[in-house]
Amino acid sequence: MRWQDLLRPGETCWQLAPAQKLAVLIDSEAYFRAFKQAALRARRSILIIGWDVNSRLGLEFPETAMQGVPNRLGPFLTHLLVRSEALRINVLHWNSPLLFKLDREWLPRLRIDWLSHPRARYALDNQHPLGAAHHQKIVVIDDALAFVGGIDFAIERLDGRAHLPGDPRRRLPDGTIPQPVHDIQFAVGGPAARVLGDIARERWQVATGQRLAPAGPGAVPWPEGLTPDLRDVEVAIARTRPAWKSLGEVREIEALFTAAIRTARDWIYIETQYLTAWSVAQALRARLEQAGGPEIVLLLPREPTGWIEQTAMGIGQRRILAMLRDVDHERRLRVYVPMLGAAGEVPLKVHSKTMIIDGRFVTVGSANLNNRSMGLDTECNLALAVEAGAKPERVLAGLRDDLLAEHLGCRPADVARTIAREGSMIAAVEALRGPGRSLVPFPETPPAELDALIAEAGVLDPSETAAPERLADGFVEHPVGRRQVRNALVGLLATAAVFAALVTLWRAEPGAGGAPLERIEALSAFGADWWRAAAATLAAIVIGGLLLPLMPLVIVTGLVHGPWTGFCLAFAGALGSAVLGYGLGVALGRDRLRRVMRGRLEYLAQRIGRRGMLSIAVGRLLPFATFPLINVAAGTARVRLSDYLLGTALGVAPGILVFTLFSGLLRSVLFTPGPGNLAGLLAVLVAVTAFALWLWRRFVNRLTVDDG
């Protein structure tokens, strides 16, 4: 097969389009500088489509930043709007699940920074199936210049090719210095940019229902000082898109990857954040099993980072690598980890999604080599296939040498010369590896350890929409970060511990006699009518549940009224508060909610609306969202009231029972301390601890997200 025949519209790509200019931007320092220069030349439109967009991102290092121009993304975009009265800016950002990542920016801050301008529009993309994510990274300027690749405008992305560990210039607003990160972006000018603009506008319309008009013909705002690597070439645009509403499934990127691997003759060079895609692994395996097939060099991060769990990407990746090594009888596979530092002790985060083959084919984009990028998430890649002996072939082979030189700490000429001398890419890498900054072999997992691992990758790295029964494993479309859930469980245990400590403090209060107990009795009696105290408690829970966490109110109820009366009152109050919050959500309505909350609560409302009773029950049981938030979201989503009440009852009953029993026993210990009551209180504490540990093992250890 000729390489040009590989790019087939409707199969391995969406469209072919001419690019008057094409430049490869290696690492984000080069990309952000080029974006900044091009954006300053924008006349009509800047359209940003991203997995993460953070207004606090610094676009250049301070010592090299443009003078007189804001360097943070938010103020910079505002500056552009102020200086050009015809310019419009649209930003589409994946609507990540509630409390999904601590390093993501809360929307009110974004809106204050730059989205208040009348010619700037910001939208959240949640129009995808359960468990999916919007993962494209596209910027289109005036429909004449486009950037596409693996680099987001995320807060921690700025880095240069030196990748200095602990570089203080990369310090984040919270004071931390993130891990060095390597990535690649393409810049294309001409008709190819307009086609990418069509993809970006289509995604905007899917997410918002609004149609954006093309920018119209005009000059190409090519960045000043950026020399094109290629001119007048034809590029292919390939996509991944899950089936959603009226949109059909698209798996062009998967077809492109596997077809390119089948076509390879001499060598395959891959940089990827993950290798868990079974279709790609099978294609690589077939080439390794074939006698005299191509050499394969894979660059991976040392381990999944961010919120990625080893039980998700890690296990699947180790299994695939073990499979590939098992069939590599001719020793044509090498898997490396780029390391930094004087002693090679700091791993480089490989975030790029790049494949170069034979100097004849290259693809760069947002798609990782994991299952979800093959069929579940929205992705966009550019690809280029060239004739043998032409200048583009030398450019693509030179790109491989340039990347290897960056990771080996040498010059591209050294790599090219060594490959020519050794006649092998693998032999050249082995000859050039050394101490300090270099490539080290990816660690192998012993077979016994690998056999002992539980196969979770298929559940947490799906290639299609997850079944509804998996909802409890990933509430509200994606699981929340481990830290949020851990803090919630720690808070649950801390609450129990604090109230247990009150037993000692109240009994040991010097000179107070029975004053604390008398106060509790007075609250319980509320004069001579116990029903007044009950009515006051019920009203407090109903009204307080709109604003306050439910469990402290439940504990106080059990302490004042005892376990069984307390349970009845707390349960009735929780249902009453839930109905009141539900009514507020109905009155508020989705349109008003979108304007007020800018997407976060609306997102939860949409997820609850899809699964109804099950979502409500899981949300009440697990500490993923607050009681008042779910109330309003359910009303906004117009969940059937019967499903809502049943889900609420099923979700809150276990927790209310445990905490009213606990506080009721605490009351008994306060009034009549004795071995029986103390033993009962201890038993409840043990039960609460066991329940928290079960939650941790059952749910929290199985959480995973793709960090871009």
**114-131: pLDDT as tens digits:** 567 889 998 888 888 877
* CATH 3.30.870.10 domain locations along the chain: 10-241, 250-468
Higher pLDDT, 9 or 111: 9
| Ramachandran quadrant class, 616 (left: phi over 0; alpha: psi -120 to 50; beta: rest) | alpha
pLDDT of residue 90: 95
pLDDT range class, residue 492, cuts 50, 70, 90: very low
Is 613 strand, coil or helix? helix
Classify 567 in phi/psi space as left (phi over 0), alpha (psi -120 to 50) or beta.
alpha
How many other CB atoms are found less than 10 A from the CB of residue 240? 27
Instruction: Return the minimum-mean-pLDDT range out of 23-37, 429-443, 599-613.
Output: 599-613
Residues 477/704, Cβ–Cβ less than 8 Å? no
pLDDT tens digits, 348-388 = 999 999 999 999 999 999 999 999 999 999 999 999 999 88
pLDDT category at 482 given cuts 50, 70, 90 is: very low
Of the spans 103-117, 159-173, 497-511, 681-695, which averages the highest pLDDT? Answer: 159-173
Residue type, 570: A
Supply the pLDDT for residue 115: 62
630/56: higher pLDDT: 56
Sequence-distant contacts of 676-680: CB under 8 A, at least 24 apart: none
- What CA–CA distance (Å, rounded) separates 473 from 459? 9
Q: Is 516 exposed, middle or buried (0-12, 13-18, 19+ CB in 10 A)?
A: middle
Cβ neighbours around 458 below 10 Å, total: 14
Point out the least confidently predicted range of 251-265, 417-431, 537-551, 669-683. Answer: 537-551
DSSP 504: H
Rg from Cα positions in the chain: 29
Torsional sign, CA 350, 354, 355, 356? negative
Higher pLDDT, 140 or 104: 140
Kind of pairing between the strands at 295-299 and 333-340: parallel
Q: Average pLDDT in the 623-650 region?
A: 68
Beta strands in 278-398, from DSSP E residues, in sequence order? 295-299, 333-340, 346-347, 349-350, 354-357, 361-365, 379-385
Q: Which range among 6-20, 312-326, 554-568 has the greatest average pLDDT?
A: 6-20
Measure Cα distances from 674 to 316, 375, 660, 670 in Å: 54, 62, 19, 10
Category of 677 on φ-ψ map: left (φ > 0), alpha (ψ -120 to 50) or beta = alpha
For 355, the 3-state DSSP assignment is strand
Q: How far apart are CA 178 and CA 303, in angstroms?
A: 15
Angle of CA points 645, 695, 538, to nearest 5°: 35
Which residues neighbour 125 within 8 Å (Cβ) at sequence distance 6 or greater? Answer: 92, 93, 94, 95, 134, 203, 206, 207
Closest CA to 154 of 71, 57, 72: 57
Token pair of 386, please? 């060239």
Residue-level pLDDT at 234: 96
Percentage above 70 pLDDT, the chain: 66
683 Rama class: left (phi>0) / alpha (psi -120 to 50) / beta? alpha
Is residue 138 a contact partner of residue 90, using CB atoms and an 8 Å limit? no
pTM equals 0.70
CATH topology of domain 250-468: Endonuclease; Chain A (3.30.870)
Q: Residue 399 above 90 pLDDT? A: yes
d(CA 462, CA 313): 11
Instruction: Kindly state the tokens that stand for 70.
Output: 């804001």
User: Cα angle at 95 between 635 and 61, to 5 degrees?
Assistant: 145
The CATH superfamily of 10-241 is: Endonuclease Chain A (3.30.870.10)
> Cβ distance 94 to 207 under 8 Å?
no
Please state the rounded mean pLDDT for residues 36-48: 96
